[in-house]
Amino acid sequence: MRFLLASLLTLTVLTAWAQKGILVTNLRCENQANPLGIDVAQPRLGWQISSSARKSPIREIEQQSYQILVASTPEKLAANEGDLWDSGVVKSEQSVFIPYGGKPLESRRACYWKVNVKTMKDTEVWSEPASWTMGLLRPSDWSAKWTGLDSSFAWEKPKDVFTRVAARYFRKEADLPKKIRKATAYVSGLGVYELYLNSRKVGDAVLAPAPTDYNKRIFYNTYDVTNYLKQGRNALGMLLGNGRFYTLRWGYKELPEIAHYGFPKMRLQIEVTYEDGSTERLISDESWKVTAAGPIVANNEFDGEEYDATKELSGWETAGYNDSQWLKAQLVSVPSQVLESQPTPPIRVTETLKAQAIKEVKPDTFIVDLGQNLVGWARLHVRGPRGTKVTLRFAERVNEDGTLYLDNLRSAKVTDVYTLKGDGEEVWEPRFVYHGFRYVEITGFPGTPTVNSLEGRVVHDDLPIVGSFASSNSLLNQLYKNAFWGIRGNYRGMPTDCPQRDERMGWLGDRAIGSKGESFVFGHHDLYAKWLTDIEDAQLESGSIPDVAPAYWKMYSDNMTWPAAYIIIANMLYEQYGDDVPIRKHYPSMKKWLTHMRTKYMKDYIMTKDTYGDWCMPPESPELIHSQDPKRKTDGTFLGTAFYYNMLTIMEQFAEITGNSADKREFAELAGHVKKAFNDKFLNRDRQFYSNNTATANLFALAYGLAPEELRSGVFEQLVERTTVEHKGHISTGLVGAQWLMRTLSDNGRPDLAYRIATNTDYPSWGYMIQNGATTIWELWNGNTANPAMNSGNHVMLLGDLIIWMYENLAGIKAEEPGFKRIIMKPTITGDLTSVTSSFESFHGRIGSEWERKGGKFNWKVTVPGNTRATLYIPATDQKAVREGRSQASLAPGVRFVKMEGGNAVFEVTSGAYNFRVK
């Protein structure tokens, strides 16, 4: 059977059986992209239902019931024997997140399953079979020991400010005396590892495992290694890099203290089953050998990797290698005994970019332009004498003279060094670093490099691309492309703030509302569910939540706007995916945080504490990072109180979901007090604006429902006037205000103003970034002129709700019920836009919206996935003017007219593909 990892947290089967034109496909089993290591006691299952016809797909496909069979062998499943679980016929529309309800699943258990679905048309359809395998569920399942060497080597500088620690090479040989039926490897290497068996690297992941707070939990990965091993003598090798385990800086006063966990270490357990049914384990222990005298002489994610090919340990991962000069490995301890299967897809090299140009800017200094700001590393092609050192440095920009612009990288050295072995063409790329860059400086190259001497390797969490967006406006399309590159480049087992300088942290505030926009582009469910665990792991006993998670920087500034991402993202996972488990899992922790903030900082129902405010709003002077003008800045007390109120309203919903009715009443009562105090303090009733009348202040009063109903139009007019008159139709918010700007303008009747902001090309705007050469999103609106201490060229925080607006407003794709079980499709027709083509792969299937207006006509192609319904808003003055296919829309199959509303004919449609036309 052929499998494809299709979404974070999902295993997908590509084929299915069709009966009467209906397919049941994309079977999913919860918890991680590696189906061999599921360690959830009750995995949740799901599937999609669709029509097999492409030209005229069947409409009105709705599930009436399902029956799940889970068997211990493929043969039993084929015989319809669900010896592990037979759900029986369950009358339900649910087709996602159905918890396994059979016999308790023990470690290593292989589970084979399929589902029978009955639809409205009395059609029963069996899916093809799928499978998953349980991981190691108990500590007693592990025989392998944590192995390492808790000391440094003479050539290392582990206590330098710029730490220099070499890669660790571990090896062992083992005899396997019989023919092998199956072999599974369970492996973790800290900070990052590569596993080699008989000279072959296992798998295609890089920078594994995903990062965590290693004091709280550690991840392992699972691989089928049957084809890597052989009867007879086998060589096992582990190569360890530092990652985030060994500190990147030691005693560096210019940064917060970076967490340090120790020297690299590993744990490996390979379980072998022979053809005769007997078993054997190969484990890490003190019988292994270790050295750091290999070619990777230093690796540091901020500073780069140094590789000396003259020191290569040729054949170290093959049987028969002489390791007599290697040291004996030690049994070592690790910060946490919690070892879990990695819940996120692996990081991979997903793309290779060719160099677009190369220029010699001074003798022996060449600058390569890859044409795109990317995250990853360079692959070098070179020939030359043994001992020649080629140095690569990385940057996002160049100076006017063509040399690298490095000021914005702060202390990060971003330098890779390759020493040639002098053996024909040599091709090299690093293993244990990553850079954020567009330009690469080459020095020391033997001869003259060309555009073929270097390639860009794109590296990130290998999340599925689930969305697409294109329009008639080329600037919008480029903006979407810039966002795409910026978002995916900052996925590194956690959502990071930037990939280039000495930071690369999981700042909570950067990804709050933005995570919802990202969900339309990438299938990031598992990544953000994992990140919520990182946040709870970092929470102090007092309830305080840090500014970054994992808490590699110990920053607990106790503000509302950044930690609010904890609750906002849990709500996003529920709204966009229909998953309430993160809410249930983290509810006590979220409540603890709100209690902490209330008891320590709330006075008379006003939240008196906020740290960052509306971070990075456009300043009054181009060289400033932060505005010094009080009229531009939104009061922190205002923001803290508004955010606290919003958290209470979300927690009311969470309390209902989790069955905490008393909490729901308490949250509602407290919210009422906060709302009254907020309006008493911040609302200017006579002039109908909030605080000092910044766009951000009025935005949050509207978006969070704090403004009294009778004053909402007045407050909105103040927002519009401030934007159009004082700021001349430009954005005036920072990352906090931008989270609600585009939708609030559109939802209150000014989509034209939102469109103008989106398509501006002068400062400050996203288009200004593009006009000045940006291929990702800047950290600052004035990122080309501000102090270089903070002008990252690859941030996503200023995107705000722009991507949400593109999908929900311009394309008109929005969840009416959690997980898109019910969909609202209401495209915004504004500005000079003549067309939008967009799609989104929800857990129920593909949602498509493709509209065009031309010559007084409006055409709209709509796709609604199986087992869902959609409410469509079609611009028309009369429902009879709307046609679907060859008939009046209200008479078409699967279509029901509902009402006329606000210049739209409103229809409800079942699943299917539709083509609407309006004259």
H helix or E strand, kind and range, residue 701: helix 695-703
Tokens of 638: 């205002």
Where would I find the beta strands (DSSP E) of 120-209? 124-126, 130-133, 147-148, 168-176, 180-190, 192-197, 200-201
Contact yes or no for 718/688 (Cβ under 8 A): yes
- What residues does 289 pair with on adjacent strands? 171, 328
DSSP label at residue 738: G
* Nearest Cα residue to 262 out of 164, 335, 161: 335
> Quick one: CA dihedral 641, 642, 645, 647, positive or negative?
negative
Q: How far is CA 753 from CA 41, 505, 729, 897, in A?
A: 51, 34, 7, 31
Residue of 340, 429, 503, 884 with catalytic role: 503
H helix or E strand, kind and range, residue 657: helix 636-658
Pairing of strands 415-419, 304-308: parallel
Pairing of strands 44-51, 63-71: unpaired
Amino acid in position 553: W
Contacts of 128 (CB under 8 A, 6+ apart): 1, 13, 15, 16, 17, 27, 114
Query: What DSSP assignment string belongs to 447-499?
Result: S---TTSEEEEEEEE-PPB-EEEEES-HHHHHHHHHHHHHHHHTBSSSB-S-S
Please state, in angstroms and rounded to a whole number, the distance separating the CA atoms of residues 827 and 829. 6
CA atoms within 13 A on the CB side of 805: 27
- What residues does 426 pair with on adjacent strands? 382
Tokens of 872: 């469509």
Please state, in angstroms and rounded to a whole number, the distance separating the CA atoms of residues 530 and 28. 18
Q: How far apart are the first and last CA of the chain?
A: 50
- Is residue 779 annotated as a catalytic residue, yes or no? yes
**Structure-derived torsion over alpha carbons of residues 104, 109, 110, 116, reported in degrees to the nearest 10:** 0
Please state, in angstroms and rounded to a whole number, the distance separating the CA atoms of residues 793 and 486. 9
Three-state DSSP at 818 gives helix
Question: Cβ-count burial of 118 within 10 angstroms (0-12 exposed, 13-18 middle, 19+ buried)?
Answer: middle
Residue of 779, 808, 841, 884 with catalytic role: 779
Tokens of 654: 């969470």
Please state, in angstroms and rounded to a whole number, the distance separating the CA atoms of residues 165 and 149. 12
CA max distance for the chain: 88
Please state, in angstroms and rounded to a whole number, the distance separating the CA atoms of residues 531 and 98. 23
Three-state DSSP at 264 gives coil
Contact yes or no for 103/42 (Cβ under 8 A): no
Please state, in angstroms and rounded to a whole number, the distance separating the CA atoms of residues 885 and 447. 65
Q: How far is CA 897 from CA 711, 871, 873, 882, in A?
A: 34, 10, 10, 10
Please state, in angstroms and rounded to a whole number, the distance separating the CA atoms of residues 369 and 356. 6
Judge if the upstream peptide bond of residue 129 is cis by omega within 30 degrees of 0.
Answer: no
DSSP label at residue 436: E
Please state, in angstroms and rounded to a whole number, the distance separating the CA atoms of residues 586 and 593. 11
Contact yes or no for 117/125 (Cβ under 8 A): yes
Helices assigned H by DSSP within 472-610: 474-489, 514-519, 525-538, 565-577, 581-601
- Is residue 128 annotated as a catalytic residue, yes or no? no
Q: Which residues participate in catalysis according to the annotation?
A: 503, 779
